[in-house]
Every structure is written in C-alpha cells, then in structure tokens.
Amino acid sequence: MQGMSERQYAAHAGLSRGAIQKAKTAERLVLYPDGSIDAAASDRRRAETTDPSKTRKPPTPRLKQVPEAAVAAVGDTLREQGLTAPAVGGGTTFLQARTANEVLKAQERRIRLQKLKGELIDRSRATLLVFRLAREERDAWVNWPARAAALMAAELGLEPSTMQKALEKHVRAHLDELAEVRPDFR
C-alpha cells in the first residue's frame, strides 16, 4: 500500500470515514493505483474543491462572565495556600479555579470538624464573655482601694482617708488606660 487507507486518512483529516467515502466517490481525493489515498495531494484537492460555506465549524463555547469578586476570592484562596494566583482581570484558568474550590471545601470541612470537636467558639459568645470578664476585673479594682487603704495606711503610719484617695486616683487612671484596649475577634 503506497498511501493511506480510508480509516487512516479520516483520522488524518479529522473527518468521519463516511465523509471520506463520499469525497472518494465525488473524486475529490487523489488515489494511488492500488486504491490507497495520497494524503498531501488529497488535502490540496479537498481544499480547492470544498465549499467553505458547507463545512462544519466547531461551535464556539459561550462562556459566562465571572464576576471580578469571584476571581479575586479565588486568587486570595490560592495565595493563602502559597500557590500562584493570577492578577485580577488577568484570567483564572480552570485548574486554578478548581484548585481554589477544593482548598475552600477542605477549609470548610476543617472548620466544621473543629466546631464539632468544640475547638471553635461563636464570636458573639466570646465577645460577651470577654466583656463580662473585663467588667468583673474593673469592679474588683474599683473596690480594692477601699479594702486595702486602711491596711496600707496603718503599715505606713498615714491617715486612711488620704491613702484611699491616693489609691483610688491611681487605680482609676490605670483603668482608664486599660479601657482604651479593644479586643478584635476578626
């Protein structure tokens, strides 16, 4: 066999075997004397004789536009994991988006598991507990000068009321400094 069989030429041309048989019947293929197909000559003849309006073009996939916020979220997730992320508007590949999706699902599962194990607590509950603890601490410090002033005054030989006023002044100044500290649970 000098050339290609119908099946080989169909694979070469990207057509079905039936289309090759039709082209052969219409004499749009160049054949060797043994009946095999001369690929190069047949390609040229097919290009010359085929009507471009009758050829099938592969359909252009219509892709949905992805919001920039979603692309940015994918990039953030990839960067958190130490992977390379495209610039916003630079185009995210399907593989990068799928990787980010898998990472997010794994993070979500880990958080759900930590919640079930009791390792995570609710932010509003934590804020409430910290606020209540801070209030109790403040109340203990506000009441301390009244309890300790008489004992300290006796040890130092001072008037208890003078000692209590001095202690209250310094304790309140210190509590004012501490009040500026705000817990941030974000």
Residue 66 to residues 43, 84, 96, 123, 138, Cα–Cα distance (Å): 41, 19, 14, 32, 52
Same-domain check for residues 142 and 172: yes
Segment 163-178, tens digit of pLDDT:
999 999 999 998 888 8
Q: Quick one: average pLDDT of 5-10?
A: 93
- Give the whole-angstrom CA distance, residue 185 versus residue 163: 39
If asked whether residues 110 and 148 sit together in one domain, one would say no
Number of alpha carbons in the 13 Å side-chain half-sphere of residue 97: 12
In angstroms, what CA-CA distances link 168 with 83, 152, 176?
56, 13, 12
31: β partners: 37
Tell which of 82, 98, 117 closes a domain: 117
Determine the pLDDT at residue 37. 94
| Residue environment code for 92-108, b if the CB has 16+ CB neighbours within 10 A, otherwise e | beeebbebbeebeeeee
Classify residue 59: in a domain, yes or no.
no
- 185 within domain boundaries: no
Tell me the pTM.
Answer: 0.38
Top-confidence residue, 30 or 184? 30
Q: 120 is written with which tokens?
A: 């995570």
Res. 92: pLDDT tops 60: yes
First to last CA, the chain: 75
Q: Identify the bridge partners of residue 37 per DSSP, sorted by sequence position.
A: 4, 31
- pLDDT value at residue 49: 83
Which residue range(s) make up the domain with 94?
68-117
Same structural domain, 106 and 135: no
Query: Number of structural domains, the chain?
Result: 3
Same domain for 113 and 129, yes or no, is no
* Residue 36 resides in a domain: yes
Residue 32: pLDDT over 90 = yes
CA distance linking residue 141 with residue 179, whole number of Å = 13
pLDDT category, 86, cuts 50, 70, 90?
A: low
How many CB atoms sit inside 10 A of residue 77's CB?
A: 20
